Structure 1
């Protein structure tokens, strides 16, 4: 919490902290703390989610648990971040190592994607998230 001596954390700092927590495998209450209760996450279609997805807080937390079962590790390398008011746009390079076979890919295969992540904040918490994920072909 901000005081006269410590400034409020910027929305960009919050966004970076959020992606680091996701990369470290945050789930449950640790992950939920980043979101408003009425959050909506929209994931546009991609190879891991061919139909895309729209999730509420419960869906986000469930997806995080499923991700821990699917991925041995994941990293988010933030290339750029732009903030305007309560909105942050992030350009991110993501890697994820499969813990289990997926499609025709073996466990241990490293997936790579280029992400555009748009976060809308309210009162220091994420109220909306949109992901545009471009996966590199396996190879």
Structure 2
């Protein structure tokens, strides 16, 4: 995995990094989640070798997890606006040569046909975390 270039993201930093609704997460907790996500993306490989991975997730812990997890695994993160129309998404995904799309399960039904037509694997954050080594 890539070197962590964000010094605050360390497992021993218990300062609050993120607040989501009524839950707060420390830098250490966020970093551990990013590591697990990156491991799940890698599926035993050493590096994603700049694989382009899109994500369709609103601002949240999942957004931070996916963005940093893709970077940490050696991929290129392609963030998508959750307010985009299908035609816009089709254009973005095609132009960026995306091979995988990460989306929360609530968006899977809306995105499944588009991803299938572009031969893009559609998975959720929870699926990738479950695939991580030692999950």
TM-score of the two chains, using structure 2 as the length reference: 0.26
Specify which structure has the higher proportion of strand: 1
TM-score of the two chains, using structure 1 as the length reference: 0.25
Specify which structure has the higher proportion of helix: 2
